[in-house]
Amino acid sequence: MTDSNDKLDRAIELLKEPVELDPAIDVRVMNAIASEPRPNGWKRRLWFVLDWLLRGRSIRVSPLGGLALAAGVAVIVVYSRSLPIPSDDAAVSFAAEQSSAVQFVIVAPTASAVSLVGDFNDWDPDATPMQLVADNRVWTVTIPLNSGRYRYAFLVNGDTWLSDPSAPPVQDDEFGRPGSVVTIGET
């Protein structure tokens, strides 16, 4: 056993040695990201859209009806009908033609703070705080989303990630955290 342990220790030392990779990998990476949008660019554009959509306008949101308040935590997402965006406003020409007010709801009676994080806000914990309603049990927030597929999660008390058990789980998340998928518009 001692001999085999020695071999294993020796193997580990060799596995720690540097490996030879393409010296141009740095260039390849930088070339690849050159075609990517700036990582914060979409966030800035989205907030511009949100500001425009929410300024002095009413957003129709479906009632929560049928909310089953099970013990612990449950999550419900409710969609509204599409909101038309005037096509003659050049300032928002990058927004999709159909935008839906989407209400996200989480039942978290013991939480002290909950925020919604997702592709739509660059997973910024501070971007979309949720409001406490309904007997101090239900947290909710409504945001406009253009047609598309979005990954999202709930961040409870700043450190606990929760997915939505009633929505499809994220299958391709590169971070290994729980998350769900919501698809707006065409599926």
Q: Note the residues at the interface with another protein (CB under 8 A).
A: 3-5, 7-8, 10-12, 14-16, 18-22, 25-26, 28-30, 32-34, 36, 38-40, 43, 122-125, 172-177
CB of 173 to another protein, least distance (A): 7
* Three-state secondary structure call for residue 166: coil
CB of 125 to another protein, least distance (A): 6
Of 93 and 171, nearer to another protein (C-beta) is: 171
CA-to-CA distance for 70 and 153, rounded, in angstroms? 19
Bridge partners (DSSP) of residue 148 are: 184
CB of 87 to another protein, least distance (A): 30
Of 5 and 58, nearer to another protein (C-beta) is: 5
CB of 99 to another protein, least distance (A): 22
CB within 8 Å of 150: residues ≥ 6 apart: 118, 119, 120, 181, 182, 183, 184
Of 23 and 56, nearer to another protein (C-beta) is: 23
CB within 8 Å of 125: residues ≥ 6 apart: 115, 117, 155, 158
CA-to-CA distance for 79 and 19, rounded, in angstroms? 51
CA-to-CA distance for 53 and 180, rounded, in angstroms? 25
Of 98 and 122, nearer to another protein (C-beta) is: 122
CB of 184 to another protein, least distance (A): 20
Of 11 and 134, nearer to another protein (C-beta) is: 11
Looking only at the bridges linking them, the beta strands covering 131-133 and 160-162 are: unpaired
